[in-house]
Structure 1
Amino acid sequence: MEEWYQLFKDHPFVCTDTRKIKAGCIFFALKGDRFDGNAFAKEALEKGAAYAVVDNPCVIPHTTEETIKYVLVPDVLKALQQLAAYHRKQYNVPVIALTGSNGKTTTKELITSVLSARYNVTATEGNLNNHIGLPLTLLNITGRTDMVVLEMGTNHMGEIALLTSLCRPTAGLITNVGGAHLEGLGDLEGIKKEKGVLYDYLKGHEGTVFCHENDSVLTGMLTERGIADNVVFYGDGPQAENEQAGKSVQALQPDGRLLLRVPGYPEIQTHLTGLYNVPNVLAALAVGAHYGIAPEQAAAAVAAYEPTNNRSQWVRTAHNVCIADAYNANPVSMKSALENWHSLPGKGKCAILGDMLELGASAHQAHVDTVRLVVAMKPDQVFWVGDHFGKAVKEEQAGGMCFATTEELMAYLKEHPLKDKIILIKGSNGIGLHRLIPSGAC
């Protein structure tokens, strides 16, 4: 590994996409469902990569001059993960890992913003939180890194165990446990077991656990594991150990954006929408306080944070106000988004809802339950996108208009534009509702 690691130290930029090759980088020829990176190794080298890591000897030319640029390994993905794990071991810095069914990326971004007020933070970019993205983030750690913030996602059993073994977190938190990725995790007990692996690791390595005290599922998971030491609670309960916690936390939405009044902190006007984001903000404040971030600095960092990528975004378009929350959807996040949107003051409520994916056997009932909830809210308009909602709407004889695809909806809205509406855009990323605002459809 030392020789292999020296190669990385000499060429510390790693790439897995030939469209993003940088001169002198190391190209890892990963495989996907529809591609084999080995086939692109030659192209990567021609574009300036110093080396190409491959696991198919057939792509290596026999000429000596070219052969030395290929690194043959048994498995490219495992080689990437092993390199990342070894690199992580070289740095004695705090590593904060977080997972959860909802709010992972927003919480990660908020924590990163708060800690960046004082520290040089290496953090997960976007939602690169899986068995490939996390190793790539670890390889971004440098001698200038003071702290690391990592998001860990999972859609099947065993993934959190792998990710924790790679990143060796010194602290961590679970945002919540809900009905996400049921297709791969089975049921809520399966989700608790998979997410709880992070707690198990932190307990076994004397790490710090940040826990939302008002979430009985999370506190129950701590109790089940006998975790009592090295726990920092946040929320509204009596166990909370930091100034921001207390029953006097006030959360308001005078204009649809979340306004927080937290004891010990200046008033925080955020760019977030939804009371469901309150625990995410309090988590960031708790982490910041634990690592010495002054209340004024933490509050300013939260206030400055603007969500992107259709995650609880509050967007004013030419004709409407939109809550863009179309990156991910499951029954819990869908219900929270709908309840928040329904509670906002104003007329002209319009919901554009796309299918919730990866729910397995519970998919149909989850969509029926959502249709019933929306019907009870009596919105002015509702558009349903996807096969699951189409079947549920028909079964419930609910109102609104059904579209098989986002393209069909966009074509309709082009001919029948929406004006002066408060629009919730919510659905799984695979449905493509994130294209509505950029296209001018809303």
Structure 2
Amino acid sequence: MEKFTLNFVADIFEQQLTEQQRNLSIHHIYTDSRQSVEGGLFIPIVGDRFDAHDFISGAIEQGAVAALWSRTEKPDDIPEDFPLIYVDDTLKALQELAKVYRQELNPTVIGVTGSNGKTTTKELIASCLSVKYKTAKTEGNLNNHIGLPLTILRMERDVEVLVAEMGMSAFGEIELLSLIGRPNHAVITNIGESHIEFLGSREGIAKAKLEITAGLQKQGQLIIDGDEPLLTSDSYPNKIYCGFNSKNDYRVEAYVQGQEQSDVTINGTTFTLPLLGKHQALNAAFAIAVSELMNVNINQAAEQLETVIIPGMRFEKIETKEGALLINDAYNASATSMIASLDVVKKMDYQRKVAVLADILELGDFAEEAHKKVGQSLDEQFDAIFTFGTSSRFILDGLPATFSGKQKHFTSKQELIEEIASLLDENTVVLFKGSRSMKLEEIIEAIY
């Protein structure tokens, strides 16, 4: 489907094109020259180790009909009539193009950020709103200064709602994303320890997350974890509080964990959530709060939540040939999210419970403290704790003196695979949790 003609782009960047060029239909806006497209506008990003301008010929072969261009010269090996839109910086141009496209389509934008639970909350909100609106959402990990503009530019012209995930690792990044996306309403799921190496403290993390208000539209509502003082103390006036204590606007009044699902009661409405953990009940409360802001009633929202499907590697369950249950929760990790996942496994009905815990990264000087905090949360309900990497060994140092299960630190994936394999049977559950770059999925793949 056509997003716009090249005339739309030329006008933004004040370019002169032939009439034939201006009428070119643009269907896809993209940055990967290897991607096969129809009617593509190629935007070559310049990185620390690459310059995608070098791949313009490949982009044309794959379907590009035009490109943004920040070099002064036109390549000799492209067609003479191939239109280039000259800009000073292709990344900033991508962001500006997204801003203008978002303004032209004018959907309701829901921005979602937080230390943990961004993706799940985004999925829950999008599912709830889809009963009434044509809804687009962030796909994959397109939640940064490149991914958010691409997410906006992927919207079809008849989209009514965009649920946009916003991630960051440093100050100023969420502010930039908020000013690009201009959310009508925003959600901050929680304040954990992620990126504390760069932000200095949980107070710093809260400050960075609250940057989402920079582009929040006038009268926009900020939906927050009402049990987190670092969020409730902020001066932004239009807040909706979600949480477990009685003062919240959307209160999780009851939570009962089953083997495959949870029974949750929020503001008097009980429903079954196909997710495990009290943190997921809170994520559902965020979704219901947004839904009612958007005139989707709580019963409609609850019905959608009962059938929601979450992307892989987020408490993904896999059964081995021996009948053991592997839980792949290794998409990413912080101390807070790791403890939450361990708490879920504690309540599961298995005779043997094993935790495979890898490094939590980007903690800097807080690495030892954060990993020990995870260890302190463990108890005799686990039969074995295996750690992998470097800093994760501090988890074992934090174990209570009363812990009597097996504990061992590994630096070899193959040795860890052999150790886990020796324990697998129908009475065993194994949780895998660690930062994304630790690649625990490789261990899971080798086992099953």
TM over 0.5: yes
SS of the residue aligned with 1:234?
strand
* Counterpart code for 1:102: N
Structure 1 CA distance, aligned partners of 2:325 and 2:175? 41
What aligned pairs does 1:357-368 form with structure 2 within 5 A after superposition? 357-368=361-372
**Is the aligned partner of 1:418 residue 2:424?**
yes
Report the number of matched residues. 427
Instruction: Summarize the Cα distance change of 1:8–1:273 in structure 2 as closer, same or farther, 3 Å threshold.
Output: farther
Instruction: Summarize the Cα distance change of 1:366–1:236 in structure 2 as closer, same or farther, 3 Å threshold.
Output: closer
Partner of 2:228: 215
* Counterpart code for 1:252: V
Q: Is the 8 A contact 1:315 1:322 kept in 2?
A: yes
In structure 1, list runs of 5 or more residues that go unmatched: none
**Is the aligned partner of 1:206 residue 2:206?**
no
> Of the candidates 112, 128, 138, which is equivalent to residue 98 of structure 1?
112
Instruction: Summarize the Cα distance change of 1:213–1:92 in structure 2 as closer, same or farther, 3 Å threshold.
Output: same
> Of the candidates 238, 241, 265, which is equivalent to residue 233 of structure 1?
241
Instruction: Summarize the Cα distance change of 1:56–1:413 in structure 2 as closer, same or farther, 3 Å threshold.
Output: farther
Structure 2 CA distance, aligned partners of 1:25 and 1:412? 50
Q: Is the 8 A contact 2:34 2:58 kept in 1?
A: no
**Is the aligned partner of 1:35 residue 2:50?**
yes
Structure 1 CA distance, aligned partners of 2:161 and 2:286? 17
Partner of 2:16: none
Q: Is the 8 A contact 1:108 1:150 kept in 2?
A: yes
C-alpha deviations, 1:407-438, integer Å up to 9, x for none?
A: 55335545x3622312211111110113344x
Structure 2 CA distance, aligned partners of 1:9 and 1:162? 31
What aligned pairs does 1:315-326 form with structure 2 within 5 A after superposition? 315-318=318-321, 319-326=323-330
SS of the residue aligned with 1:335?
helix
Q: Which has the higher helix share?
A: 1
SS of the residue aligned with 1:383?
strand
Partner of 1:196: 210
Shift of 1:370: 2.5
Deviates more, 1:28-37 or 1:187-196: 28-37
What aligned pairs does 1:95-244 form with structure 2 within 5 A after superposition? 95-202=109-216, 205-221=218-234, 225=235, 227-228=236-237, 230-237=238-245, 240-241=248-249
Structure 2 CA distance, aligned partners of 1:8 and 1:378? 66
SS of the residue aligned with 2:42?
strand
Structure 2 CA distance, aligned partners of 1:8 and 1:409? 59
C-alpha deviations, 1:176-209, integer Å up to 9, x for none?
A: 111111122221121111111223543x722122
Instruction: Summarize the Cα distance change of 1:63–1:237 in structure 2 as closer, same or farther, 3 Å threshold.
Output: closer
* Counterpart code for 1:28: I
Q: Is the 8 A contact 2:36 2:63 kept in 1?
A: yes
Structure 2 CA distance, aligned partners of 1:407 and 1:205? 55
Q: Is the 8 A contact 1:41 1:54 kept in 2?
A: no
Structure 2 CA distance, aligned partners of 1:279 and 1:261? 11
Q: Is the 8 A contact 1:274 1:337 kept in 2?
A: yes
Instruction: Summarize the Cα distance change of 1:296–1:371 in structure 2 as closer, same or farther, 3 Å threshold.
Output: closer
Partner of 1:429: 436
SS of the residue aligned with 2:447?
coil
Partner of 1:278: 281
Q: Which has the higher strand share?
A: 2
Instruction: Summarize the Cα distance change of 1:296–1:40 in structure 2 as closer, same or farther, 3 Å threshold.
Output: same
* Counterpart code for 1:432: K
C-alpha deviations, 1:229-262, integer Å up to 9, x for none?
A: x433333555555xxx357x21111225322134
SS of the residue aligned with 1:18?
coil
> Of the candidates 269, 291, 302, which is equivalent to residue 294 of structure 2?
291
Partner of 1:383: 386
> Of the candidates 26, 31, 36, which is equivalent to residue 11 of structure 1?
26
Q: Is the 8 A contact 1:272 1:306 kept in 2?
A: no
* Counterpart code for 1:434: E
Structure 1 CA distance, aligned partners of 2:280 and 2:314? 11
Q: Is the 8 A contact 2:251 2:285 kept in 1?
A: no
C-alpha deviations, 1:320-340, integer Å up to 9, x for none?
A: 223321111111111222222
> Of the candidates 341, 349, 356, which is equivalent to residue 352 of structure 1?
356
Structure 2 CA distance, aligned partners of 1:308 and 1:72? 38
Instruction: Summarize the Cα distance change of 1:199–1:23 in structure 2 as closer, same or farther, 3 Å threshold.
Output: closer
